[in-house]
Structure 1
Amino acid sequence: MTDPTIDIRDARVDFPIFDAKSRSLKKAVLGKAGGRIGTESKVPIIEALRDINLSLRKGARVALVGHNGAGKSTLLRLMSGIYEPTRGQAVVQGKVAPVFDLAVGMDPEITGLDNILIRGLFLGMTKKQMESRVDDIAAFTELGDYLDMPLRTYSTGMRVRLALGVVTSIDPEILLLDEGIGAVDAQFLAKARDRLNELVERSGILVFASHSDEFLADLCDTAIWMEHGTIREHGPLREVLHHYKGHDVLAELERR
């Protein structure tokens, strides 16, 4: 079996904005998408990613940091194949599990148990694989009889528990995580972090976009600092976080 790899060369991702009627509209779109507006075309272009060069191999544990709109989510979607590069190349080998929204692939009208199977299929697992994991996921979520009830009866925290139970049960070669964890109580979150660590250990490559320094310190050892759709810095986690935040984040976490 070939080891998972991610190779991106001189990649750029552009989004054309059709029927833009004013500069203010362009600015509004730019503020949400990140990047910058290209002016050489009659159609406004959002340059979401520019000059991306990146090579990741098995064992990579990479944090994506940067302000909102810096290009983190767009880069994850480029890695997952959701976006094709406008220019350059993005070659990904291995089974990718993109976890960008914990709610994606879940149906509010069916039971929690049925949602476990559907969400697992969405993440690339087989029905047989998910059926063998149902009992473990059910025990982890601590939802009990609620698993036989429609998802629409769940609170936000209960939905996050169910989604985390499924996500942390899969066996991906490449795991792409966009932060969506938080609407659960502290005790359960500690339990979830243990399972996330086990998930990362099973993954060939991890790329994790998050604003949580603690999660990044737990799961990653290198980091990419995104700024205005470009990679500003790629290196050891401690150094990149220090440069990005302006202080030694990991040292502060270690003192707690």
Structure 2
Amino acid sequence: MTELAPKTTSGTTADAVVAQPVPLVEAKNLALRIPIFKANDRSIKISPLRLLTDLYFGRTKRAVATLLEDVSFKVHHGERLGLIGSNGAGKSTLLRVLAGIYTPSGGKLTVRGSAKGLFDVSMGMLQDATGLENIYMRGLQMGLNFDEIKELIPGIVEFTELDDAIEKPFNTYSSGMRLRLAVSISTMVEPDILLLDEWLGAGDARFSTKVQDRMNALVEKSRGLVIATHNENLMRNLCTHGLVLSKGKVLYCGELDEALAVYKDHGEQDAPAKLDGRQRGASAG
């Protein structure tokens, strides 16, 4: 989205104008709802007929699943936000909304700068294409042009340690080789806002150390970080703030220690009213 200039207040020459910091990520009352389809709705034979009859008789409403509801928070420059919650709380869904994979059903999302998510790094690799061809293909998917990809290729190939195998079809690679290539491609771009669904690791001990070093460098160079992880030690090492989700709703957003305490106290109870004055949907900053 186009970056909005911070609002200023005009007045006399004696008035002081204080510029408010503009957040990198600003979510206001985000909601995500998806229709629920039954198995027989996917039948090629009956779906067109059912659609026509439903339209004719006005039966167009379907059951809807609410994945996110009234989610509000901000991430400012230098902040690292950890998403906290049990499985199914909405952490991965929220990350994919921030990455632009899902479009919110309601609310407003403003992202200032480039946001890139490291999710399912091996997904989308072409089995019959060579490793080199997959680098070009994935680079184009990430919004790079041919010249930009060509400039990055030597570093990517060197990082993979695949040597001549980079010219061989992807379907001839071992699982370790596939993971090396996927990780190397996925981490070749340094975004302003880094989105992580769990910390990325790969390969044998030596290569895993290389990946950890690259991941740490990506975090350090990013202007902001949003990560979902069940690893409390990792979250304490990386994050400055925490956002607790339960069933797609925000229980708390603020200081990390308090966020972890809220999660431990309330777990999957979707009861913001019982938080004893703790903020719900607050800014991370």
Report the TM range for the smaller structure's normalisation: 0.7 to 0.9
CA contact (8 A) 2:116 2:193 kept: yes
> In the TM superposition, what whole-angstrom CA distance separates every residue of 1:161-204 from its partner, at most 9, and x where no partner exists?
11221222202122222237345223322221110111122222
Query: How many Å separate the matches in 2 of 1:121 and 1:214?
Result: 35
2:184 match: 165
CA contact (8 A) 1:6 1:93 kept: yes
Q: Which moved more, 1:63-72 or 1:228-237?
A: 228-237
Deviation at 1:106, TM superposition (A): 2.0
Q: Does 1:211 align with 2:230?
A: yes
Q: Which amino acid aligns with 1:58?
A: H
1:253 match: none
Q: Does 1:71 align with 2:100?
A: no
CA contact (8 A) 2:73 2:253 kept: no
Query: How many Å separate the matches in 1 of 2:183 and 2:23?
Result: 24
Aligned length: 227
> Which of 249, 267, 271 is equivalent to 1:230?
249
Q: Which amino acid aligns with 1:174?
A: I
**Greater share of strand:** 1
CA contact (8 A) 1:65 1:223 kept: yes
Q: Does 1:86 align with 2:105?
A: yes
Q: Which amino acid aligns with 2:189?
A: I
2:276 match: none
Query: How many Å separate the matches in 2 of 1:182 and 1:43?
Result: 41
> Which of 119, 122, 125 is equivalent to 1:103?
122
Q: Does 1:44 align with 2:63?
A: yes
Query: How many Å separate the matches in 2 of 1:73 and 1:142?
Result: 31
2:88 counterpart SS class: coil
Structure number with bigger Rg? 2
**5+ residue gaps, structure 2:** 4-21, 41-59, 266-285
2:153 match: 134
Q: Does 1:152 align with 2:197?
A: no
**5+ residue gaps, structure 1:** 22-40, 247-256
2:26 match: 7
> In the TM superposition, what whole-angstrom CA distance separates every residue of 1:123-176 from its partner, at most 9, and x where no partner exists?
222322222222222222222222121111222222221122122220212222
Query: How many Å separate the matches in 2 of 1:75 and 1:224?
Result: 11
Deviation at 1:7, TM superposition (A): 1.3
In the superposition, the TM-score normalised over structure 1's length comes to 0.77
Q: Does 1:199 align with 2:218?
A: yes
Provide runs of 4+ in structure 1 moved above 4 Å. Answer: 1-4
| Aligned CA-pair RMSD | 2.7
The alpha-carbon distance between structure 1 residues 151 and 245, as it changes in their structure 2 partners (threshold 3 A), is: farther
Query: How many Å separate the matches in 1 of 2:249 and 2:88?
Result: 11
